[in-house]
Amino acid sequence: RDIGCIVRSLGCFPSEAELRELLAKVNDEEATRFIHMEKFLPVMTKVLLDRSYWPIREDVLLHAFEALDENKCGYITKEDLVKYLTEE
């Protein structure tokens, strides 16, 4: 269930369908909840080298930050960012 977070933390933003395809490539035949590093590493290395997934668009990221800027002052404070990333 954490594979999407892991992939996104590497700067890749696949759709949910693309994420399911990626999971199918790295899943074992056994129905476990774990992905073995030996299977994940080569698949993810190829994804990164081939630039298989586009990064998130700048306008989408800007819109996300604008939504966090409650006072519409053009910035969010470090404290607010930490709060959003750890509590929200």
Written as one string, the DSSP assignment of 69-80 is -TT-SS---HHH
Model pLDDT for residues 45-60, shown as the tens digit of each residue: 988 888 888 777 888 8
Model pLDDT for residues 3-53, shown as the tens digit of each residue: 888 888 888 888 889 988 888 888 766 666 778 888 889 988 988 888 888
Q: Cα(15)–Cα(82) distance, rounded to whole angstroms? A: 27
User: pTM (2 decimals)?
Assistant: 0.55
